[in-house]
Amino acid sequence: MAKKSAHVSETPATQWLKAHAVRYTEHPYDYVDHGGTAESARQLGVDEHAVVKTLVMQDQDAKPLVILMHGDRQVSTKNLARQIGAKKVEPCKPEVAQRHSGFLVGGTSPFGFRKAVPVYVEATVLDAERIYINGGRRGYLVGIDPAVLTGTLGAIAVQAAEPVKV
């Protein structure tokens, strides 16, 4: 596998991070279709729990929202809906998610969204020392302090992770 360059050209996400004076590190990797957070974590040598996925969902009125979740956890749409006062929440179809975000699925970042949408974050993500989240293109994560999510981005903490099955 070829070593990726340490710098990736700007994306709407990195432009947003720079405009808000957010310090971040760049972590390019070789994108693999359907590899998800397990593949990016493996290539970067980080714990998948610290890789945060950006999921574009919608409520019963088809209003978009974003939930940020640990890479190794699933979203309980029932718990999320209850906490945000929605009747139901479901994932958007890929083409709808792309229209709302401006990013290709697999490269969706919560930073630099095309439209302003509510952003929610699994509360336990905020306990991490550092997280790795999509930087606005496939095969590219940025490392940030999780406090950026609730501080600069304005995400609202919720408890929406599915219980861990033992």
pLDDT tens by residue, 7-22: 678 999 999 999 999 9
pLDDT attached to residue 1: 40
Q: Does the structure show a pLDDT above 80 at 28?
A: yes
In which residue are the tokens 């992770």 written? 161
Distance, CA of 141 to CA of 64 (rounded, Å): 23
**Spatial CA neighbour of 117 closest among 67, 74, 159, 43:** 67
Amino acid identity of 53?
K
**What stretches of 23-153 adopt beta strand conformation (E)?**
25-28, 51-59, 64-70, 89-91, 119-122, 131-137, 140-144
Q: Phi and psi for 36 in degrees, rounded to 5?
A: 60, -160
What tokens were used for 94?
């890929």
Q: Does the structure show a pLDDT above 80 at 156?
A: yes
The dihedral of CA 105, 87, 84, 78: what is its sign?
negative
- pLDDT band at 165; cut points 50, 70, 90: low
Cβ count near 99 (within 10 Å): 14
- pLDDT band at 41; cut points 50, 70, 90: very high
